Chain A
Amino acid sequence: MRQVSPSLDKLLENPRLWRGHSQRHATSGLASGYERLDRHLPGGGWPQQALTEILIEQYGIGELRLLIPALARLSAEDPIANCADPGWIAWVAPPFQPYPPALQQSGINLSRILLVRPKNDSEVLWCAEQALSSGACAAVLLWSNTLDDQASRRLQLAAEKGQSWAIAFRPLAARTEPSAAALRIELQPGERGTRLSILKSRGGRPAVLHDVL
Chain B
Amino acid sequence: MPSASKSPATEREIAPTPAALGARPAKRLQAPQTLQCALPLTAPTLPQRMLTPTTAWRLWFCIYLPNLPLEASGSMHDVSEDGRVVVEEQQGIHRVLLADAKAQAAGIQPGQSANAALALKSTLRLEERSQLREQQALESLAAWLEQFTSVVCIAGSDVVLLEIAGSLRLYGGLQSLRQQIAAGLRQQGFDASLAIAPTPLGSTWLARGGRRSCIREAENLAAALRTLPLACLDWPAALCESLTGMGIDSIGDCVRLPREGFARRFGARRLLELDRALGRLPDPRTGWRSAERFCADYEMTEEQSDCELLLTICRELLQSLEQFLLVRQLGTQHVRFNFFHLKSPATSLSLRCAAADRSVDHWFDLLRIRFERLTLPEPVISVRLYGGGTQALQAETGRLAFHGMATRHERQYSIAQLAERIAARIGTQSVQGITTVAEHRPHSAWRLQSKLCDKVVGASSMVKRSMIKRGLQRPLWLLPEPALLPAEQGLPLHQGRLTLLEGPERLETGWWDEDGIARDYYTAVNPRGVHLWVFRNRNRTPVWYLHGIFG
**A interface footprint on B439-450 (CB within 8 Å = 1, 0 otherwise):** 000100110100
With A61-B528, A136-B414 in contact, is A104–B468 under 8 Å at CB?
A: yes
Could you give, for residues 95-115 of chain A, a 1 whenever the CB lies within 8 Å of some chain B CB and a 0 otherwise? 111111111111001111111
Which residues of B sit under 8 angstroms from A62, Cβ to Cβ?
529, 531, 550-551
Distance (whole angstroms) from the CB of A123 to the closest CB of chain B: 6
Interface residues contributed by chain A, number (CB under 8 Å): 51
Among residues of A, the one whose C-beta sits closest to the C-beta of B413 is A136
B400 → A minimal CB distance (Å): 11
**Given A88-B411, A99-B475: A58 touches B530 (CB 8 Å cut-off):** yes
Assess A100 versus B407: contact at CB under 8 Å? Given A59-B477, A114-B451, A119-B426. no
Q: Give which listed residue, A106, A111, A116, A189, contacts B461 with CB less than 8 A.
A: A111
A4 to B276, CA, bound (A): 90
> Are A100 and B435 in contact, CB atoms less than 8 angstroms apart?
yes
B411 and A59 within 8 A (CB): no
Please, how many angstroms separate the alpha-carbon atoms of A137 and B418 in the complex? 9
Closest beta carbon of chain B to A199's beta carbon, Å: 19
Residues of B within 8 A of A118 (CB): 426, 430
Are B405 and A85 in contact, CB atoms less than 8 angstroms apart? yes
Give the residue name and chain of the B residue nearest to A67 (CB).
B551
A205 in contact (CB, < 8 A)? no
Q: How far is the CA of A85 from the CA of B310 in the complex (A)?
A: 40
Known: A68-B476, A87-B411, A102-B476. A194 touches B529 (CB 8 A): yes
Contact B403 A99 (CB under 8 A): no
Do B551 and A105 have beta carbons less than 8 Å apart? Answer: no
B406-421 CB contacts (< 8 Å) to partner A: 406-408, 411, 414-415, 417-419, 421
The answer to whether A101 and B463 touch across the interface, beta carbons within 8 angstroms, is: yes
Report the 7 A-B pairs with minimum CB-CB distance, sorted nearest first: A111-B458, A189-B529, A64-B551, A102-B474, A60-B530, A60-B549, A100-B446
A-B contacts, 12 of them at CB < 8 A, read A60-B531, A61-B529, A64-B476, A99-B548, A105-B470, A110-B433, A113-B434, A114-B419, A115-B431, A117-B432, A136-B414, A189-B529
What 17 new A-B contacts, CB under 8 Å, besides A62-B551, A101-B436? A60-B531, A60-B549, A62-B531, A96-B479, A96-B480, A97-B480, A99-B475, A102-B476, A103-B476, A104-B461, A115-B431, A123-B425, A134-B415, A137-B415, A137-B418, A189-B528, A189-B530
- Contact between B436 and A110 (Cβ–Cβ < 8 Å)? yes
Give 1 or 0 for each of B381-403: 1 = CB within 8 Å of chain A CB: 00000000000000000000011
Contacting pair B465 A60 (CB below 8 A): no
Kindly provide the distance from the CB of B482 to the nearest chain A CB, expressed in whole angstroms.
12
Choose among B408, B463, B550 the residue that contacts A65 (Cβ–Cβ < 8 A): B550
A98 to B446, CA, bound (A): 10
CA distance A63 to B549 in the complex (A): 11
A130 on interface, CB distance cutoff 8 Å: yes
Whether, in the assembled complex, A155 has its beta carbon less than 8 Å from a beta carbon of chain B, the answer is: no
Chain B residues whose C-beta falls within 8 Å of the C-beta of A98 in the assembled complex: 434, 476-478
A11 to B434, CA, bound (A): 51
Q: Tell me whether B179 is interfacial, beta carbon within 8 Å.
A: no
The answer to whether B403 touches A83, judged by C-beta atoms less than 8 angstroms apart, is yes
Chain A residues 169-210 with CB under 8 Å of chain B are 189-190, 193-194
A113 to B430, CA, bound (A): 13
Pairwise interchain contact A114-B465, C-beta atoms closer than 8 A: no
Nearest chain A residue, comparing its CB with the CB of B472:
A105
In the bound complex, how far is the Cα of B408 from the Cα of A104, in angstroms? 22
Residues in B with CB closer than 8 Å to A137 are: 415, 418
Check: A166 CB closer than 8 A to any chain B CB: no
The residue on A at minimum CB distance from B457 is A111
Residues on B with C-beta less than 8 A from A134 are 414-415, 417-418, 421
Q: Does B489 contact A (CB under 8 A)?
A: no
The 0/1 profile, CB within 8 Å of B marked 1, for residues 4-29 of chain A is: 00000000000000000000000000
Kindly provide the distance from the CB of B191 to the nearest chain A CB, expressed in whole angstroms.
47
Which residues of A115-146 have CB atoms within 8 Å of chain B's CB atoms? 115-119, 123, 126-127, 130-131, 134-137
Query: Which one of B411, B427, B460, B528 contacts A58 once the chains associate, using CB atoms below 8 Å?
Result: B528
Known contacts: A83-B402, A104-B436, A105-B468. The answer to whether A99 contacts B426 by CB under 8 A is no
Say whether B408 contacts A106, CB under 8 Å: no
- Taking a contact as CB atoms under 8 Å apart, the answer to whether B433 and A97 are in contact is no
The minimal Cβ–Cβ distance linking A79 to chain B, given in whole angstroms, is: 13
CB <8 Å contact, B418 and A100: no
Tell me the A30-74 residues at the B interface (CB within 8 Å): 58-65, 68
In the complex, what's the smallest C-beta–C-beta distance from A77 to chain B, in angstroms?
10
Given known pairs A101-B436, A123-B426, the reply for A60 and B551 (CB within 8 Å) is yes
B56 interface hit (Cβ, 8 Å): no
Are A99 and B414 within 8 A (Cβ)?
A: no
- Interface flags for B516-547 (1: CB within 8 Å of A; 0: not) read 00000000000011111000000000000000
Question: B38 near A: Cβ within 8 Å?
Answer: no
How close is B325's CB to chain A, nearest CB, in angstroms? 25
- A190, B476: Cβ atoms closer than 8 Å: no
Within 8 Å of chain B (Cβ to Cβ): is A84? yes
Given A100-B445, A130-B418; A63-B551 close (CB under 8 Å): yes
Contacts of A194 in B (CB 8 A): 529
B422 at interface (Cβ–Cβ under 8 A)? yes
Known: A60-B531, A104-B461, A111-B461. A97 touches B411 (CB 8 A): no
Once the chains bind, are B478 and A96 in contact (CB under 8 Å)? yes
When the two chains form their complex, are residues B476 and A99 in contact, meaning their CB atoms are under 8 A apart?
yes
Which residues on the A side are within 8 Å of B132 (C-beta)? none
Let me know if B434 and A115 touch, CB within 8 A: yes
Take A99-B477, A111-B459, A130-B421 as given contacts and tell me if A59 and B434 are in contact as well, using a CB distance cutoff of 8 Å: no
Contacts of A83 in B (CB 8 A): 402-403, 405, 407
CA distance A37 to B314 in the complex (A): 53
Using known A-B contacts A111-B435, A118-B426, determine if residue A101 contacts B446 with beta carbons closer than 8 Å: yes
Chain B's nearest CB lies how many Å from the CB of A102? Answer: 4
Residues in B neighbouring A59, C-beta threshold 8 A: 477, 530, 549, 551
Residues from chain B with a CB closer than 8 A to the CB of A130 are 418, 421-422
Question: Which residues in B have their C-beta under 8 angstroms from that of A114?
Answer: 415, 418-419, 431-433, 451
CB distance from A153 to the nearest CB of B (A): 22
**What CA separation (Å) do A38 and B139 show in the bound complex?**
69
- Chain B minimum-CB-distance residue to A95: B477
Q: Which residues of A contact B529 (CB under 8 A)?
A: 61-62, 189-190, 193-194
Measured CB to CB, the closest approach of chain B to A69, in angstroms, equals 13
CB distance from A55 to the nearest CB of B (A): 15
Q: How far is the CA of A135 from the CA of B448 in the complex (A)?
A: 24
